[in-house]
């Protein structure tokens, strides 16, 4: 029974993962690097980031791919704990033959045969520790991608390839809209901001519903997207208060709890617009391309 709850064991590269959405690989890389920036700075590990000038759209599970990137970077960072040489991490993305290519390189010089099994062994002391590399390798594989390692006189280089998907973005629909996103998850609001800006809209993101309400008093927005569950105030209460400043039809409740009793009641009452997470860039495009032209 427990095995069936593990998506890494259920799905092969030929089967689409549940919850798979359109994602920009560049955006995910930026988030992963920013989350681990403190750990690299504390270890005096310089990091350079060079990303492809255009979005690299891939289809995948946001949480699994984020986990893969974080585990890979953490593995590289921890490798330096047992290394006395030069410290340097380089992250880059390119577009090549219909693939989104991510390179994670470091300055660790290693030509040992031990490294050959890095995608299989869970613990190679002084090389890569923990579940990082095998787990990331498996996640990339179930997304239809490939991952390999090359050793050179300059260090190690992990190369990840994922299939690019065809998109019609960016597209401005009825024109640039001003959209406020309120969610206490900083990663979620950053992803949403990136999606909305790629579609040509102006996005303002906030993690505090109380501060967002103060902003609604001062500024005019075409739409407001607010998360259902937040510590300061839940989304329903926020919407009730926000109706004083913006038409209710332009307020959307974000939720991943699509099977919860509360959400079911809201759907039946039909008096609150609900946008189910995860939200893809395509869903945003459809939603705002079909928005009414009058702003308020």
Cβ atoms 202, 178 nearer than 8 A: yes
> Are 8 and 72 in the same domain?
yes
What pLDDT is recorded for position 242? 92
> Are 157 and 188 in the same domain?
no
What pLDDT is recorded for position 192? 86
> Are 25 and 55 in the same domain?
yes
What pLDDT is recorded for position 219? 92
Angstrom CA distances, 269 to 94, 148, 224, 248, 264, stand at 48, 52, 20, 14, 9
Q: Can you list the alpha helix ranges (DSSP code H) found in 171-291?
A: 186-198, 209-218, 235-242, 261-269, 281-289
Q: Which residue bears the tokens 């008096």?
A: 271
C-alpha torsion sign, points 205, 277, 199, 242:
negative
Domain boundary among 134, 163, 192: 163
What pLDDT is recorded for position 262? 63
> Are 41 and 146 in the same domain?
yes
pLDDT digits (tens, 9 = 90+) for 175-205: 588 999 999 888 788 888 888 888 888 999 9
Measure CA of the first residue to CA of the last residue in the chain; give whole Å.
Answer: 51
Divide the 296 residues of the chain into consecutive groups of 10 and give the mean pLDDT of each group. 43 58 86 88 92 87 89 88 89 94 90 58 46 82 91 90 75 70 86 84 92 92 91 88 89 75 63 79 81 52
148 is a domain residue: yes
C-alpha span between 33 and 37 (Å, rounded) = 6
> Are 144 and 34 in the same domain?
yes
Strand partners, 22: 59
What residues have CB less than 8 Å from 253, skipping those under 6 apart?
226, 227, 228, 235, 236, 239, 266, 272, 273, 274, 275
């Amino acid at each position: 029974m427990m095995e069936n709850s593990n998506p890494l064991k259920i799905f092969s590269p030929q089967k689409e993962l549940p919850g798979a959405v359109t994602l920009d690989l560049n955006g995910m890389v930026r988030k992963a690097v920013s989350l681990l920036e403190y750990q690299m700075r504390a270890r005096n590990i310089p990091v350079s980031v060079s990303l492809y000038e255009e979005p690299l759209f891939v289809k995948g599970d946001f949480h699994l791919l984020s986990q893969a990137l974080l585990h890979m970077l953490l593995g590289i960072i921890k490798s330096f704990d047992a290394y006395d040489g030069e410290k340097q991490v380089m992250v880059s993305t390119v577009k090549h033959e219909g693939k989104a290519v991510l390179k994670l390189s470091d300055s660790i010089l290693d030509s040992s045969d031990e490294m050959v099994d890095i995608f299989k062994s869970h613990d190679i002391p002084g090389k890569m520790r923990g579940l990082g590399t095998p787990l990331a390798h498996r996640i990339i594989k179930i997304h239809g991608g490939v991952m390999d390692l090359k050793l050179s006189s300059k260090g190690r280089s992990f190369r990840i390839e994922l299939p690019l998907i065809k998109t019609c973005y960016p597209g401005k629909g009825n024109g640039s809209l001003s959209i406020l996103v309120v969610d206490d998850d900083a990663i979620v609001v950053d992803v949403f901001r990136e999606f909305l800006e790629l579609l040509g809209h102006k996005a303002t993101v906030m993690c505090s519903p109380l501060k967002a309400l103060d902003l609604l008093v001062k500024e005019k927005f075409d739409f407001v997207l607010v998360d259902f569950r937040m510590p300061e105030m839940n989304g329903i209460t926020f919407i009730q208060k926000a109706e004083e400043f913006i038409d209710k039809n332009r307020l959307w409740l974000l939720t991943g709890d699509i099977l919860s009793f509360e959400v079911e009641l809201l759907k039946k009452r039909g008096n609150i617009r609900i946008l189910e997470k995860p939200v893809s860039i395509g869903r945003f495009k459809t939603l705002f391309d079909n928005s009414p032209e009058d702003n308020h």
